[in-house]
Amino acid sequence: ALLAGDAAALERDYRIEASGSRQDWTLVLRPRQAALAASVSDITLRGRGAELRCIETRPVDGALQRTLLAGAAREAIQAGDAADHEALCREPGAAAR
């Protein structure tokens, strides 16, 4: 539903919270179905403009799972072990701080 741009289907399965501006946005998806909500607290998408930079999945139990995409992933590769993945989700050029 997300990739297809089907807002109605997305809203059927998730409570959606959008914040930020076009140049620095966050979309939080909270599962409506009890079965999924029992294992996933929320999924947070972070981006800048048309670029989706990061997907953060927060399980009910366990550590946050972060996936860097597009420019954030390229910056992490360039920074190597020094990359600050959390900062890269939010700020371009924040690979090594």
Q: Are 88 and 75 in contact (CB under 8 A)?
A: yes
Mean pLDDT to the nearest integer, 7-19: 93
What is the residue-averaged pLDDT of the chain?
85
pLDDT at residue 55 greater than cutoff 70: yes
Q: Give the model confidence (pLDDT) of 14-48 as tens digits.
A: 999 999 998 889 999 999 999 999 999 999 999 88
Question: What DSSP assignment string belongs to 17-84?
Answer: EEEEETTEEEEEEEE-SHHHHTTEEEEEEEEETTEEEEEEEEESSS--EEEE-HHHHHHHHHHGGG--
| DSSP three-state, residue 3 | coil
pTM of the model: 0.81
Mean pLDDT to the nearest integer, 64-84: 79
